[in-house]
Amino acid sequence: MRRAPRLRRVLDHVGLTKPAKSDAPGVDRRGDYGVSVAKLHDRERDAGPLTADENRRLLRIKLFGATGSVLLLIGSLATGQIPVLQNPVAGMRVLSLPSRMWSTALTLSIGGTIMLVVAWLLLGRFAVGRFGVEVLHGRSPERRMTRAQADRTLLVWIAPIIVAPPLLSKDVYSYLAQSAIAYHGMDPYKVSPLRGLGVENVLTRSVPNLWRDTPAPYGPFFLWIGKGITAVTGDSITAAIFLHRVVALIGLALIVWALPRLARRCGVSPVAALWLGAMNPLVILHLVGGIHNESLMLGMMLVGLELAFRAVYGTESLRLEGRPLPSRAGWLLLAGTAVVALSALVKVTSILALGFLGIALARRWGATLPSLRGAPVRQWWSRSRTTVYTLTASAALMAVVLLVVMLLVALASGLGFGWLSTTSTGAIVRSWMSLPTLASVTTGRLGIYLGLGDQTQALLDVVRPLGELVAAIFVIRWMLAALAGRLHPLGALGVSMATVVVFFPFVQAWYLLWAVIPLAAWATRPWFRISTIAVTAIIAIVVMPTSSNTSGVVLAQGLLAGVIMVAVMTALFFEDWPWRRLRRRRSADADGDRTVSGT
């Protein structure tokens, strides 16, 4: 059978042509938006508790990961991002020892990271099931660890990291300098650390050279928090770093609170969502260890969504009967929307969540995709009026709440709206993890090799905006899929975040969490979980705690020694040594004696 011309198929797809008679009965079909992506989700059934033997193995895994965190802490005293001035361990006989043994510290840091990743992988057996039996075939395991066991494991793993220096990134020093600029009454969106504080300032000295003369790209709510921290700590770098880590921990606590609730709402195991999302090594190493503000952004975004979803998917009316005032559910919706808006004033990326929250609200008010795309042109308005009105009302509500929150924070913080013009400051970074940047840089290098000159920047100026346009088109598609009811708004948000990360002009390792954490509460199928597990493990290990002057030989030595150390520690923790068999035999004999005496 001959296929219709491509243009006709496109017009049919968006509902701009009159359907043929044979197609008339299906005029209200939802179309194919999100058909493939919807296959990432499947509901999971409840699982029973672990057996006694499984609990013993879980304890070993927990201690193995905690040992890795302790080794990472010791190594970070040299490989961590120590401030240029005010090093708190300088001159201390024991604590400064790793800094005088760089190769050893690098080995401990790499080995500790690998141990943490391996422990996380092993723990997956008790969260999402065995790889070859449950995960690979998309089945729910018979038994899972409890929520309390997951929470305690996460606490044990992050405890050593809490007191470690900043790991793998110096972004926190930019936070400190920009907050100090705001505290001293200057505009951090116009004044850089170099010009506002001076090159000899104790805070400026620790800011990487790349960011010393750039304005702040972060939202005013985050810098308002930093301004308060500066008011408390002054020029004390150690105290300020600790308080910023407390902020990151608050963000993690918000994630831990909201993620299981969102997962249960989507029919996903809360423990599985916690393991893949909150217990993810990238969270521990970068959000907690690296003290990145994504922790607060994601935590507030998820909490806001959970609060708003309670109202949207609840049975209570959103306004008082006969009165134009919000009901209790209506106030909950407004509160959740305001929290999501606040998260966008930490980092603007989470503003996407307002779009999908708006879609969920419009669907509650009667919006549907079929009436927009399946109707003949002459009937389009009569069939689509309700959808257009509800989408407009929902978008207007989201916009009003966002504008009110922006105005209140701008006035209360005194930081204004300058952040709207500096969000692209990070584009000066050429990250290999960004698809448009990688393609531009690779093509530019090829041009140099062929003698065509260095056209890299010209390519970046063209390819990066093109990538953003492609991302925007896909995001609209996922919104239509959510409007059709094929994707839960949370799942559509996660897929959209993944799309943004792929086509973003600059990408860091922890940006992957923009997508992984919301998707952990919705996507359950093998393709998603296996790829996420693999990418997480690889990125967590590949991003090493090296410095600019670390030679390849030293790095290779540290990596080899770290792998050997992990092999030895794995044998010590998990090998079935004779003394372990003897202890099990004695335990079994004692249980038998108690059984006999009881009878």
The angle that helices 237-265 and 171-183 make with each other, rounded to 10 degrees, is 110
Q: Which domain holds residue 491?
A: 430-507
Is residue 23 predicted with pLDDT exceeding 50? no
Please, which pLDDT band fits residue 133 given cuts at 50, 70 and 90? confident
**What per-residue confidence (pLDDT) applies to 372?**
56
84 and 160 in a single domain? The answer is yes
148 and 185 in a single domain? The answer is no
439 and 490 in a single domain? The answer is yes
**61 in any annotated domain:** yes
Range scoring the smallest mean pLDDT among 186-195, 569-578, 584-593:
584-593
The predicted model gives 281-298 an average pLDDT of 95
Q: What is the separation of C-alpha 572 from the centre of its chain, rounded to a whole number of angstroms?
A: 34
Instruction: Pick the closest to residue 367 from 341, 395, 388, 337 (CA basis).
Output: 388
Please, which pLDDT band fits residue 183 given cuts at 50, 70 and 90? very high
**What per-residue confidence (pLDDT) applies to 20?**
44
79 and 160 in a single domain? The answer is yes
133 and 205 in a single domain? The answer is no
**What per-residue confidence (pLDDT) applies to 18?**
47
478 and 566 in a single domain? The answer is no
48 and 149 in a single domain? The answer is yes
562 and 487 in a single domain? The answer is no
**What per-residue confidence (pLDDT) applies to 294?**
94
Please, which pLDDT band fits residue 598 given cuts at 50, 70 and 90? low
User: Mind listing the pLDDT tens digit for each residue in 483-516?
Assistant: 888 889 999 999 999 999 999 888 888 999 999 9
**413 in any annotated domain:** no
**316 in any annotated domain:** no
434 vs 436: CA distance, rounded Å = 6
**375 in any annotated domain:** no
**What per-residue confidence (pLDDT) applies to 304?**
96
User: Are the CB atoms for 357 and 479 separated by under 8 Å?
Assistant: no
Please, which pLDDT band fits residue 153 given cuts at 50, 70 and 90? very high
**What per-residue confidence (pLDDT) applies to 5?**
61
124 and 50 in a single domain? The answer is yes
501 and 552 in a single domain? The answer is no
**327 in any annotated domain:** no
**What per-residue confidence (pLDDT) applies to 366?**
86
Range scoring the smallest mean pLDDT among 78-92, 282-296, 554-568:
78-92
**What per-residue confidence (pLDDT) applies to 131?**
83
Say which residues have a Cβ less than 8 Å from residue 528's Cβ, sequence separation at least 6. Answer: 40, 519
The predicted model gives 349-374 an average pLDDT of 85
Range scoring the smallest mean pLDDT among 204-213, 516-525, 532-541:
204-213
65 and 142 in a single domain? The answer is yes
Domain boundary among the residues 235, 256, 280 is at 235
Torsion of CA 248, 253, 256, 258, to 10 degrees: -100
**What per-residue confidence (pLDDT) applies to 515?**
94
Please, which pLDDT band fits residue 26 given cuts at 50, 70 and 90? very low
Is residue 214 predicted with pLDDT exceeding 70? yes
The pair of three-digit structure tokens given for residue 241, joined into one six-digit string: 């770093």
Residues of the chain above pLDDT 70, percent: 89
The predicted model gives 169-181 an average pLDDT of 92
Domain boundary among the residues 235, 250, 279 is at 235
pTM (predicted TM-score): 0.88
**What per-residue confidence (pLDDT) applies to 122?**
93
472 and 530 in a single domain? The answer is no
**What per-residue confidence (pLDDT) applies to 345?**
95
**What per-residue confidence (pLDDT) applies to 349?**
92
Say which residues have a Cβ less than 8 Å from residue 170's Cβ, sequence separation at least 6. Answer: 81, 206, 207, 208
Tally the domains of the chain: 3
**What per-residue confidence (pLDDT) applies to 371?**
60
Higher pLDDT, 269 or 98: 269
Higher pLDDT, 493 or 443: 493
User: Mind listing the pLDDT tens digit for each residue in 397-442?
Assistant: 999 999 999 999 999 998 988 888 888 777 777 777 788 888 888 8
Residue 200: phi, psi to the nearest 5?
-90, 0
User: Mind listing the pLDDT tens digit for each residue in 257-267?
Assistant: 999 999 999 99
The number of residues in the chain equals 599
Mean of pLDDT over the chain: 85
**264 in any annotated domain:** no
Is residue 552 predicted with pLDDT exceeding 80? no
Is residue 24 predicted with pLDDT exceeding 50? no
> How many contiguous H segments (helices) and E segments (strands) does the chain have?
23, 0
Handedness of CA 417, 423, 424, 427 (dihedral sign): positive
**35 in any annotated domain:** no
**546 in any annotated domain:** yes
Is residue 27 predicted with pLDDT exceeding 90? no
Range scoring the smallest mean pLDDT among 376-385, 481-490, 532-541:
376-385
